[in-house]
Chains A and B, each alone.
Chain A
Amino acid sequence: MPIRCTEEGRTLTAEVSGELDHHAARAVMEELDRQIDLTLPRTLVLDLNGLAFTDSSGIAVLLRAQRRMGQIRGTMRVVHTPDQAGKVFQAAGLERMIRFE
Chain B
Amino acid sequence: MKRENCVSMEFWSCSANEGFARSAAACFAAQLDPTLEEINDIKTAVSEAVTNAIVHAYPDTIGKISMRLSLLEGRCLEIVVKDRGVGIADVAQAREPLFTTGSEERSGMGFTIMESFMDTLKVRSAPGKGTVVTMRRKIARRASR
Interface positions of A (Cβ within 8 A of B): 19, 21-23, 25-26, 29, 53, 55-57, 59-60, 63-64, 83-84, 87-88, 91-92
Measured CA separation A91–B107 after assembly (Å): 12
User: Does A55 contact B112, Cβ atoms closer than 8 Å?
Assistant: no
21 contacting pairs across A/B (C-beta < 8 A): A22-B51, A22-B54, A23-B18, A29-B105, A53-B40, A55-B44, A56-B51, A56-B109, A56-B110, A57-B51, A57-B106, A57-B107, A59-B109, A63-B107, A64-B104, A83-B37, A83-B40, A87-B117, A91-B116, A92-B107, A92-B109
User: Does B18 contact A21, Cβ atoms closer than 8 Å?
Assistant: yes
User: Does B48 contact A53, Cβ atoms closer than 8 Å?
Assistant: no
User: Does A22 contact B44, Cβ atoms closer than 8 Å?
Assistant: no
Which B residues between 36 and 93 are near A, CB-CB below 8 angstroms?
37, 40-41, 43-44, 47-48, 51, 54-55
B25 to chain A, nearest CB (A): 13
| Interface of B: prevailing SS | helix
User: Does A55 contact B55, Cβ atoms closer than 8 Å?
Assistant: no
User: Does A23 contact B107, Cβ atoms closer than 8 Å?
Assistant: no
User: Does A56 contact B113, Cβ atoms closer than 8 Å?
Assistant: yes
User: Which of B16, B54, B105 has the largest count of A CB atoms less than 10 A from its CB?
Assistant: B105
Q: Which 9 A-B pairs have the closest CB atoms?
A: A23-B15, A59-B107, A55-B47, A60-B107, A56-B109, A84-B40, A22-B51, A91-B116, A56-B107
Chain B residue nearest in CB terms to A53: B43
User: Does B15 contact A56, Cβ atoms closer than 8 Å?
Assistant: no
Flag whether B128 is at the interface (Cβ < 8 A): no
User: Does B19 contact A19, Cβ atoms closer than 8 Å?
Assistant: yes
User: Does B107 contact A84, Cβ atoms closer than 8 Å?
Assistant: no
Which residues of chain A are within 8 angstroms of B110 by Cβ–Cβ distance? Answer: 55-56
Given contacts A22-B51, A56-B113, A91-B113, contact A84 B44 (CB under 8 A): yes
Which residues of chain A are within 8 angstroms of B55 by Cβ–Cβ distance? Answer: 22
Measured CA separation A12–B48 after assembly (Å): 30
Which residues of chain A are within 8 angstroms of B109 by Cβ–Cβ distance? Answer: 56, 59, 91-92
User: Does B112 contact A88, Cβ atoms closer than 8 Å?
Assistant: no
User: Does A60 contact B105, Cβ atoms closer than 8 Å?
Assistant: yes
Which residues of chain B are within 8 angstroms of A19 by Cβ–Cβ distance? Answer: 19
User: Does B107 contact A21, Cβ atoms closer than 8 Å?
Assistant: no
